[in-house]
Amino acid sequence: MTDGFTLGFIGTGAISEAMVEGFIAGGFADPIIVSERSAKRSTRLAARHSNVTVYPDNQAIVDASDWVVLAILPPQALEVASALSFRAGQRIVSVVAGIKLETWGPLIAPATEVHRAVPLPPIERGLGPTAICPPNVDVEALFDSAGTAVAVDDERQFQALAVLSALMATFFEQVAVSAKWLEDEGVPGEQAASFSTSMFEALAALTRLENANGLKGMAEECLTTGGVNEQVLHELRDAGWFGTYRERLDRIMTRFDNA
């Protein structure tokens, strides 16, 4: 676990709160400074954690921090960052969607180290991936303390990792539709939800135990000739379901390309 530095957040929105909770639960015990904006969240964080302090002024956060996490919305991000003076030796981590490393470079000078990260809401519970670009052992250690850091050198690969975050709602819908179908078949709601959530949890956990080659073969290994898994998989394949799914990912990639 990385420690021994002050971590400042510019923007205390939903994802900052999730990161702070995840990092602290993961063992981060050094000072954290959050901005007062979104007072409900910043007040809540400071009340819950003795190492969290709220500052009203963005520049004061930058001045007091060794690492600065930029977590404001894209439309405000460049204006907010342009108004700040960073210093040499600071490490900047931007979670702002769509703003490239080359854009941040001049804005953070004389600091030279900037990383992009895409944490996801489950980070609050120490779960899930955070995409990082470029790789850095300390940045990865921080995000590994609250989930799984996945670092790549190439910014387009990083963008592709971010595309997969567009699947969260669809996954929840799949679990919910499965539970609802059980209910429609007469299974009581509690049992329907319990079965659906437990099954998808178990299947997701099994994928984590496989290496990359195993992952590709997991569906096939699940098939029995003439069995029900074979029927559903083949019928969905024949209906173009997986092609449609991939096309949706292509479309998000294009959307990010054009952002």
Ligand X SMILES: NC(=O)c1ccc[n+]([C@@H]2O[C@H](COP(=O)([O-])OP(=O)(O)OC[C@H]3O[C@@H](n4cnc5c(N)ncnc54)[C@H](OP(=O)(O)O)[C@@H]3O)[C@@H](O)[C@H]2O)c1
Enumerate binding residues for ligand X (CB under 6 A). 10-16, 35, 37-38, 58, 71-74, 76, 80, 95-97, 118-121
**Nearest-CB residue for ligand X:** 13
Residue 253 buriedness (CB in 10 A; 0-12 / 13-18 / 19+): middle
Closer residue to ligand X, CB minimum distance, 54 or 80: 80
99 is written with which tokens? Answer: 């703003």
Closer residue to ligand X, CB minimum distance, 15 or 192: 15
Question: Strands, E, within 71-203: which ranges?
Answer: 91-94, 113-118, 129-133, 148-151
Distance CA 199, CA 162 (A): 26
Bond before 110 cis per omega within 30 degrees: yes
| Least distance in angstroms from the C-beta of 61 to ligand X | 9
Closer residue to ligand X, CB minimum distance, 164 or 187: 164
| Least distance in angstroms from the C-beta of 224 to ligand X | 39
DSSP, res 4: S
Closer residue to ligand X, CB minimum distance, 28 or 143: 143
| Least distance in angstroms from the C-beta of 45 to ligand X | 11
9 is written with which tokens? Answer: 């957040």
| Least distance in angstroms from the C-beta of 96 to ligand X | 4
Closer residue to ligand X, CB minimum distance, 24 or 99: 99
Distance CA 117, CA 140 (A): 10
- Cα dist from 204 to 61, 111, 130, 144, 209, whole Å: 39, 40, 17, 19, 9
Closer residue to ligand X, CB minimum distance, 78 or 175: 78
| Least distance in angstroms from the C-beta of 105 to ligand X | 18
| Least distance in angstroms from the C-beta of 202 to ligand X | 25
